[in-house]
Structure 1
Amino acid sequence: MLQIIELQGKNIVATKASGKLDKKDIEKIHPLIHAILDKGMKVRWYFEMEEFTGWDFPGLWEDLKMDTAHAKDYEKIAMVGNKKWQDWITQFMKPFTNAEIKYFDLEEKEIAKEWIKK
């Protein structure tokens, strides 16, 4: 499940992932991203993962399509989690975007929220 969470900032998308994400979860984000892009700004994405187990195949495919289509539209991405594979995904994403991407442990989520705002 992907939950939209409140985080102040005119170009910030903030989400919390738990369980397994599917295509509908990823589609929730599209309007938020396009609303920011329509204002001529780059997107800052705060992505918190708590008890997150990954994506089903259609969800992964939709996420990859979205990330590829918007690779140049992201300014910063904060990945917040508590598993080694989540840090690995953060490192894997770096060559595919111009965004500054940083991984934070769950205990550092307040630091991550401040980082994404700066």
Structure 2
Amino acid sequence: MLQLLDFTGENIIATRANDLLGIKDYEKIHPFIHNIIDTGKKVRWYFEMDDDSGSNGFWEDGIIEINYGKMNFTHSADIERIAIVGVKKWENSMRSIMKPFTKAKLMYFDLPDREKAKEWILNQQVEIETNYIDNK
């Protein structure tokens, strides 16, 4: 399940995955994406993965192969940054999962670096990024 975190607002969508994710989770944040782009701003997404769920992953069986491919990410150009926060074992999977957002700057942060991730996602200054994940 995807939870909204308390610093969601303006052009920030802040979420924590604490269990299996599916299409309904994407549908939960979709209205927030529309609200942000309707104001003329770009979306910044803080995506934290709580590894205490005890599951073997965050994705429902078959979501990647069946459902994920059917999602229509028409807003990839509307997302400017994604901060992914989790444990190292999820980093490679998350790079693959976030491929539809290739126009966004992606940074992966370890769980102990949550505050750095929040700072990076909240920073509204235009800056040159030297350490973002390049999905090309």
Where on the TM-score scale, by shorter chain, does this alignment land: which range? 0.7 to 0.9
Superposition pairs of residues 73-112 of structure 1, within 5 angstroms: 73-84=78-89, 86-92=90-96, 93=98, 96-112=101-117
Aligned residues: CA RMSD? 2.3
Residue 47 of structure 2 is aligned to residue 47 of structure 1 = yes
| Residues 45, 63 of structure 1: alpha-carbon distance in 2 compared, 3 angstrom cutoff | farther
TM-score by length of 2: 0.74
- Normalised to the residue count of structure 1, the TM-score between the two structures is 0.84
8 Å CA contact retained: 2:48, 2:86: yes
Higher strand share: 1
User: Which residue is 1:33 aligned to?
Assistant: 33
Inter-partner Cα distance in structure 1 for 2:119 and 2:31: 24
Q: Which residue of 2 aligns with 1:69?
A: 74
Amino acid at match of 1:72: A
| 1:2-59 superposed Cα distances (whole Å, 9 cap, x missing partner) | 1000116510000000110122222110111110011111100000001262222575
- Higher Cα Rg: structure 1 or 2? 2
Larger relative contact order, structure 1 or 2 (CA cutoff 8 Å, min sep 6): 1
Contact kept? 1:25, 1:59, Cα under 8 Å: no
Aligned match of 2:122: 117
Q: 1:104 to 1:76 in 2, by over 3 A?
A: same
What fraction of aligned residue pairs are identical, expressed as a percent?
A: 48
Distance in 2, matches of 1:94 and 1:62, equals 11
Unmatched runs of 5 consecutive residues or more in structure 2: 124-136
Q: Which amino acid aligns with 2:12?
A: I
In 1, Cα distance between the equivalents of 2:78 and 2:85? 20
Q: How many equivalent residue pairs?
A: 116
Q: Is the 8 A contact 1:49 1:80 kept in 2?
A: yes
Residue of structure 2 in register with 1:24 after alignment: 24
How far the C-alpha of 1:64 sits from its partner, in A, is 6.5
